[in-house]
Chains A and B, each alone.
Chain A
């Protein structure tokens, strides 16, 4: 059983990295093999909280996709983008800065890919109007989406998975990760100001073109916009309070999604058809494959190796947090961060058992969220999300931006993306390291 599960896991991982076969096909076929070989029983795969599919993650993703699908029909993102370009009075660097902020904030509360999908066409349009090269703007937006998505529980799938496994709530992410992201974003923009501030210039008559654009034309359905904004605000409020009322985040998101579906008047067939089912089934398949390697003890072996390297103590896991941060970042730059976090989550849970001397399955929320353990979870989240900036294939948003840019006649080469992405990844992960060290180990501010 051990080798069966291990081989299925390794082959699936290799195929996902190679991108020779669609990752959803690989994950689902791998899951079917795990069940067929009885590494994991179907009952365990569908019902066991520790080994099976994490339905909290699945329903949170589906619900947020429904809310986003309805919101994108309103044109609000395009409205805000053109409004910002006018607020910047057509100044190229100010536009870059404001677009980065919109992307980061949008990605913190919506899906990264949707955010860039909505903003890239407007960016290309504005760049065309200003007769400037759009590539620095587009790469900046991809990077901003990955940085912004790190700030909240719902911003990036790795955070959703970590929150579900570690029992963390929305406010935990706001309190611990949002300040880190604000600091990182400020430093990044300062660096960008030095690099691009004096390089981006356009003639005054081109700036005037921007001022003549009519942003109001972007709002397609003002009533739907009002309804969507009200539901989104209430849902975010629900996320903030879900810990207090003892609701899972998926329950809050499902309430928001179904309410908006009910009051929007949109056809459920088309809204549900636009849910990214391949991503959802990728998660389901992945959870089952990972469940298999947890059950046979491979994760336990990996956990022992990690303990040997980092020597975590019940009251101090500094080395583990630092190793986790950089290891996650480097891995996420080259492989999809979703399977990476799906593997790391049970590994960390197993380490909790070993470090605190608990029998298997006996770890409680107090152990998992022990103050020595919390920086490790945050290191995993920061590393996995920010690492995605390290290469054009490190995050879905990067792939989308590169694809759309090429379609518009502005090819972004692998090396060209690396020139922007890699230094930003190194800078942001380095700042994360300082943040974790100063906040949790120097100031002891848990």
Chain B
């Protein structure tokens, strides 16, 4: 099956001059994993993921042990957010990324995601215009659709806070 048949087309987009706080608000929503930075013709320039935003806040020297020695982490985080507030998407975005074309097969996307550990891959046309994205969830849903033995209604969410 072509990736164009099962890709998501509702994506979070941002311009290169979009500031850090706006990016944070765009990605903070539970559904999207990343924001796509595009020009006025929707040509993909870069990607900003939740991880990229976190990396900006957490200094390169910080590790879990040093973080434990802090008693006032709220103050520390506030200070860090202040430091990065003037950064914009073009400073943070990753410009080297793997991508798929709409005619690629889903199995190829599956293999690429499994091999390289990606969560999401953008789908671009030949001119680099963003058309959609393929996520691990897309592939799993496709797998469920193609196997009659599975029943999507089998899922059950347990609210642990009530236990």
Q: Are A220 and B65 in contact (CB under 8 A)?
A: yes
Interfacial chain B residues near A124, Cβ < 8 Å: 59-61
Q: Is B71 an interface residue (CB 8 A)?
A: yes
Interfacial chain A residues near B161, Cβ < 8 Å: none
Q: Is A341 an interface residue (CB 8 A)?
A: no
Q: Are B60 and A125 in contact (CB under 8 A)?
A: no
Interfacial chain B residues near A215, Cβ < 8 Å: 69
Q: Are B65 and A214 in contact (CB under 8 A)?
A: no
Q: What is the CB-to-nearest-CB distance from B81 to chain A, in angstroms, rounded to a whole number?
A: 14
- Residue of B60, B68, B69, B71 contacting most chain A CB atoms (<10 Å): B69
Which chain B residues numbered 36 to 71 have a C-beta less than 8 Å away from chain A?
59-63, 65-66, 68-71
Q: Chain A interface mostly helix, strand, loop or mixed?
A: helix
Q: What is the CB-to-nearest-CB distance from A405 to chain B, in angstroms, rounded to a whole number?
A: 10
Q: Is A218 an interface residue (CB 8 A)?
A: yes
Interfacial chain B residues near A214, Cβ < 8 Å: 68-71
Q: Is A122 an interface residue (CB 8 A)?
A: yes
Interface size, A (range) = 20 to 34
C-alpha spacing A409/B60, complex, angstroms? 9
A202-233 CB mask vs B (1 if < 8 Å, else 0) is: 00000001001111011010000000000000
Q: Is A404 an interface residue (CB 8 A)?
A: yes
Q: Are A408 and B59 in contact (CB under 8 A)?
A: yes
Given contacts A212-B71, A212-B72, contact A217 B61 (CB under 8 A): no
Q: Chain B interface mostly helix, strand, loop or mixed?
A: loop
Interfacial chain B residues near A301, Cβ < 8 Å: none
- Residue of A120, A125, A404 contacting most chain B CB atoms (<10 Å): A125
Interface size, B (range) = 10 to 19
C-alpha spacing A209/B59, complex, angstroms? 18
Q: Are A121 and B63 in contact (CB under 8 A)?
A: yes
CB-nearest residue of chain B relative to A406? B60
Q: Are B71 and A213 in contact (CB under 8 A)?
A: yes
Q: Are B72 and A75 in contact (CB under 8 A)?
A: no
Interfacial chain A residues near B62, Cβ < 8 Å: 121, 125
Q: Are A404 and B61 in contact (CB under 8 A)?
A: yes
C-alpha spacing A212/B69, complex, angstroms? 8
C-alpha spacing A409/B61, complex, angstroms? 10
- Residue of A128, A212, A218 contacting most chain B CB atoms (<10 Å): A128
Q: Is A78 an interface residue (CB 8 A)?
A: yes
Interfacial chain B residues near A128, Cβ < 8 Å: 59
Q: Is A199 an interface residue (CB 8 A)?
A: no
Which chain B residues numbered 81 to 127 have a C-beta less than 8 Å away from chain A?
none
C-alpha spacing A213/B75, complex, angstroms? 13
Given contacts A407-B60, A408-B59, contact A122 B71 (CB under 8 A): no
Q: What is the CB-to-nearest-CB distance from B17 to chain A, in angstroms, rounded to a whole number?
A: 21
List 21 A-B pairs, Cβ < 8 Å: A75-B65, A82-B69, A120-B61, A124-B60, A125-B59, A125-B61, A125-B62, A212-B72, A213-B69, A213-B71, A214-B68, A214-B69, A214-B70, A217-B65, A217-B69, A218-B66, A218-B68, A218-B69, A404-B61, A407-B60, A409-B60
A-B pairs with lowest CB-CB distance, top 4: A121-B61, A217-B68, A124-B61, A212-B71
Interface residues of chain B, those whose CB is within 8 Å of chain A, are 59-63, 65-66, 68-72
* 10 additional contacts (CB under 8 A) given A75-B65, A124-B61, A218-B65: A122-B66, A128-B59, A213-B69, A214-B68, A217-B65, A218-B66, A218-B69, A404-B60, A408-B61, A409-B60
